[in-house]
């Protein structure tokens, strides 16, 4: 079996990382993105921990998809029947494609964290898996702290795996939960597990506390593991999880094995940056394979040699590692771009200029679609914004009030409207809608669902540029638009205008 299953836990383990908090719509968009990449499993969250994760499973079931959605949870609590354990019942209630539950394999944790005896812990693992298996769905067992447990009491650690397998677990996932194991230890222990359970499907879940998350994952694969759990860009608690943006190219390009397929590697850079933008994080330029500097050379000798043959100082071909492919990303517009290279050239130059100004289109599919539409079919002006004004004032009661005034021209007609809002952007949005809805009634269906702001050049202080992402939805779908300016109101307005224009373009 040369195919490696990729299990993405960005939406659960990744959110444990500092500063990462995904909204429901963020999680749904990332799921669609991971499916596009060819990921086999995505872990949607822990239904027993918060209502947002329960809502995610409810919403994701409504969508057509190939990707398997997994629900994460723990084994039952001690001395409680599995069928009466509230967390297990919530797992079953969300009706995922698969369950992934973790249990204790390290006696130290059994005694200190669970405060129970080794025999009850074994029963907790076995009865929990049997309960979930009754649903007919796949059950993955995450053997928490397995490598530490094996190094301490190998017999007991192996016994927990044996019980999980006997109870019906499809996968035995060995977890380096503290992230402190080294590659040679991973190799030795995975080899022992494979020898003990020759027919079992083994997975690896590595954390990065010793900066070995990727190395440990690849070492486990080399010894026979056939599943890798990790996150996009290595998000995760403390030092993060194994970075799938490095693990996947290692599997495909270095080890000659299959995971998402080489044809999907070209999407990896785009998707890495898109998830960073959704998380409102600055992409790490030095990240292997997908970082901006991954194939950049500064030294004169390096540059000269690479110009003759990239293999002199590049370990893989940059195009195989996933440099952006504009035609591929263009979707339905791709054929027109291939047929008319002059349009493609203009589009590339325009995108380069806008990116230099601070724009980012990986997470702004709406604005990107408008760029394509403008270049391929010509810009359609549905209206003109002639004037706008935004006022924020503090009333006698100490409350802040926002008011926006806009004047728009549709054809030969002018519309002048005033609106109040919960903030300046909300007021501006309301005024624009009031001004345009009489001309374009479909705008009544549009709602703003998210608003993100990123400071681009913080060293300039209050004169810094900001990038604003606005997520909008109608009854059919959602889209994201982007604006950039030194003025946060103007950046928001640019994104708002794109959102409105895209809706009108859809109806047209």
pLDDT digits (tens, 9 = 90+) for 34-57: 999 999 999 999 997 888 899 999
Structure tokens that stand for 170 in this block? 């499809």
Lookup: tokens for 483: 């604006």
Alpha helix positions (H), 309-404: 318-321, 326-329, 334-339, 341-357, 365-377
Q: Which two tokens stand for residue 236?
A: 């995760």
CA distance 98 to 269: 28
* Band of residue 506 on the pLDDT scale cut at 50, 70, 90: confident
Residues 435 and 458 grouped into a single domain:
no
> Residue range 350-365: average pLDDT?
87
Lowest mean per-residue pLDDT among 175-184, 195-204, 438-447: 438-447
Inter-residue contact 62 to 50 (CB < 8 Å) = no
Alpha-carbon distance 37 to 22, whole Å? 19
Which residue, of 241, 256, 278, is where some domain finishes?
278
Q: Indicate the helix (H) or strand (E) that contains 154.
A: helix 154-167
Report the CATH number that the domain containing residue 219 is assigned in CATH: 3.20.20.70
DSSP calls for 425-437: HHHHHHHHHHHHT
Q: How many domains does the chain have?
A: 3
Q: Is residue 76 in some structural domain? A: yes
42 and 71 co-located in one domain: yes
For residues 417 and 474, membership in a common domain is answered with: no
- Label residue 304 by pLDDT band (50, 70, 90): very low
Domain finish residue from 278, 312, 345: 278
pTM for the model: 0.78
Residue 393 scores a pLDDT above 80: yes
| pLDDT band with cut points at 50, 70 and 90 for residue 105 | very high
Q: Based on the domain organization, do 423 and 454 belong to the same domain? A: no
- Tell which residue, 457, 9, 395, 2, has the closest CA to residue 229: 9
**Mean pLDDT score of the chain, rounded to an integer?**
89
Q: Are 459 and 469 in contact (CB under 8 A)?
A: no
Mean pLDDT of 468-478: 90
Q: How far is CA 352 from the centre of its chain?
A: 25
Please report the pLDDT score of residue 326 as a whole number: 60
Is residue 32 included in any domain, yes or no?
A: yes
What confidence category does residue 310 fall into, taking pLDDT thresholds of 50, 70 and 90? low
pLDDT tens, 153-195? 999 999 999 999 999 999 999 999 999 999 999 999 999 999 9
Kindly report which listed range (124-138, 188-202, 239-253, 332-346) carries the lowest average pLDDT score. Answer: 332-346
pLDDT at 318: 60
**Which residues, in sequence order, are bridge partners of residue 126?**
none
Q: What is the pLDDT of residue 37?
A: 95
pLDDT at residue number 1: 64
Pair (201, 246) in one structural domain = yes
Residues 258 and 352 in one domain: no
**Residue 298 within a domain:** no
> How high is the pLDDT of residue 313?
46
| Closest C-alpha to 2, from 225, 197, 193 | 225
Whether 320 is covered by a domain: the verdict is no
Q: How many CA atoms lie within 13 A of 60 on its CB side?
A: 32
Q: How far apart are CA 384 and CA 406, in angstroms?
A: 11
265 lies in the same domain as 368: no
Do 396 and 264 lie in a common domain?
A: no
Q: Which of 268, 266, 278, 270 is nearest to 243 (CA)?
A: 268
Does 364 fall in a domain? yes
Same domain, 46 and 121: yes
| CA-based nearest residue to 189, from 227, 231, 145 | 145
- Nearest-Å Rg of the Cα atoms of the chain is 26
Is the same domain home to 77 and 212? yes
Q: What is the CATH number of the domain that holds 419?
A: 3.30.160
Tell me, yes or no, whether 473 and 500 share the same domain: yes
Cβ atoms 1, 226 nearer than 8 A? yes
CB 280: neighbour CB atoms within 10 A? Answer: 17
Look at strands 138-144 and 384-394 and give their pairing: unpaired
Q: Is residue 13 part of a domain?
A: yes
Question: What's the mean pLDDT in 256-261?
Answer: 95
Furthest CA-CA distance within the chain: 83
| CATH number of the domain enclosing 355 | 3.30.160.340
Is the confidence at residue 367, as pLDDT, over 90?
yes
Cα–Cα distance for residue pair 126/118, rounded to 1 Å: 13
Cα–Cα dist 289/234, whole Å:
13
**Is residue 481's pLDDT more than 80?**
yes
> DSSP string covering 103-141, please?
EE--HHHIIIII-S-HHHHHHHHHHHHHHHHTTT-EEEE
Domain end, chosen from 408, 439, 470, is at 439
Q: Is residue 495 situated within a structural domain?
A: yes
Let me know: does 50 contact 18? Beta carbons within 8 Å: no
Q: Please check whether residue 308 lies inside any domain of the structure.
A: no
Q: Which residue has the higher pLDDT, 364 or 223?
A: 223
Q: Does 476 lie in the same domain as 393? A: no
Unique residue bearing structure tokens 């007021």:
427
**Confidence at residue 508, expressed as pLDDT on a 0 to 100 scale:** 63
The domain in which residue 75 lies consists of: 5-278
């Amino acid at each position: 079996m040369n195919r490696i299953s990729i299990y993405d836990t960005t939406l659960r383990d990744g959110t444990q990382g500092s500063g990462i908090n995904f909204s429901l719509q963020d999680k749904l968009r990332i799921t669609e993105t991971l499916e596009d990449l060819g990921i086999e499993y995505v872990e949607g969250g822990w239904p027993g921990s918060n209502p947002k994760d329960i809502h995610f499973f409810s919403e994701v079931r409504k969508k057509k998809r190939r990707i398997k959605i997994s629900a994460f949870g723990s084994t039952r609590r001690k001395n409680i029947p599995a069928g009466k354990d509230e967390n297990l019942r919530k797992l079953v209630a969300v009706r995922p494609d698969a369950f992934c539950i973790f249990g204790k394999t390290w006696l130290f944790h059994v005694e200190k964290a669970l405060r129970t005896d080794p025999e009850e812990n074994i029963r907790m693992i076995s009865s929990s898996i049997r309960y979930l298996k009754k649903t007919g769905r796949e059950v993955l067992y995450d053997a928490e702290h397995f490598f530490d447990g094996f190094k301490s009491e190998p017999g007991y650690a192996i016994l927990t795996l044996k019980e999980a397998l006997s109870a019906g677990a499809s996968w035995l996932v060995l977890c380096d939960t503290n992230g402190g194991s080294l590659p040679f230890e991973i190799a030795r222990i995975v080899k022992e597990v494979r020898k003990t359970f020759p027919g079992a499907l083994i997975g690896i879940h590595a954390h990065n506390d010793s900066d070995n998350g990727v190395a440990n994952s690849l070492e486990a694969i080399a010894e026979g593991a056939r599943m890798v759990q990790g996150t996009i860009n290595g998000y995760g608690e403390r030092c993060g999880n194994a970075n799938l943006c490095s693990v996947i190219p290692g599997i495909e390009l270095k080890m000659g094995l299959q995971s998402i397929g080489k044809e999907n590697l070209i999407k990896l850079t785009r998707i890495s940056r898109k998830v960073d933008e959704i998380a409102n994080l600055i992409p790490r330029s030095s990240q292997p394979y997908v970082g901006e500097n991954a194939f950049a050379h500064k030294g004169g000798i390096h540059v000269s040699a690479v110009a003759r043959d990239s293999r002199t100082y590049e370990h893989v071909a940059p195009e195989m590692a996933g440099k952006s492919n504009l035609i591929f990303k263009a979707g339905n517009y791709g054929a027109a771009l291939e047929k008319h290279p002059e349009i493609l050239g203009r589009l590339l130059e325009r995108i380069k200029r806008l990116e230099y100004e601070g724009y980012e289109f990986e997470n702004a599919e709406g604005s990107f679609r408008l760029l394509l539409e403008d270049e391929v079919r010509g810009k359609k002006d549905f209206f003109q914004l002639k004037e706008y004004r935004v006022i924020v004032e503090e009333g006698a009661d100490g409350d802040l009030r926002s008011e926006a005034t806009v004047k728009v021209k549709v054809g030969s007609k002018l519309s002048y409207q005033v609106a109040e809002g919960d903030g300046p952007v909300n007021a501006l949005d309301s005024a624009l809608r009031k001004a345009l809805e009489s001309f374009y009634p479909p705008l009544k269906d549009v709602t703003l669902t998210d608003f993100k702001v990123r400071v681009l050049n913080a060293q300039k202080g209050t004169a810094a540029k900001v990038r604003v992402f606005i997520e909008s939805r109608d009854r059919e779908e959602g889209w994201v638009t982007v604006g950039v300016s030194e003025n946060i109101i103007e950046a928001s307005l640019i994104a708002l205008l794109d959102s409105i224009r895209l809706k009108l373009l859809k109806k047209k």
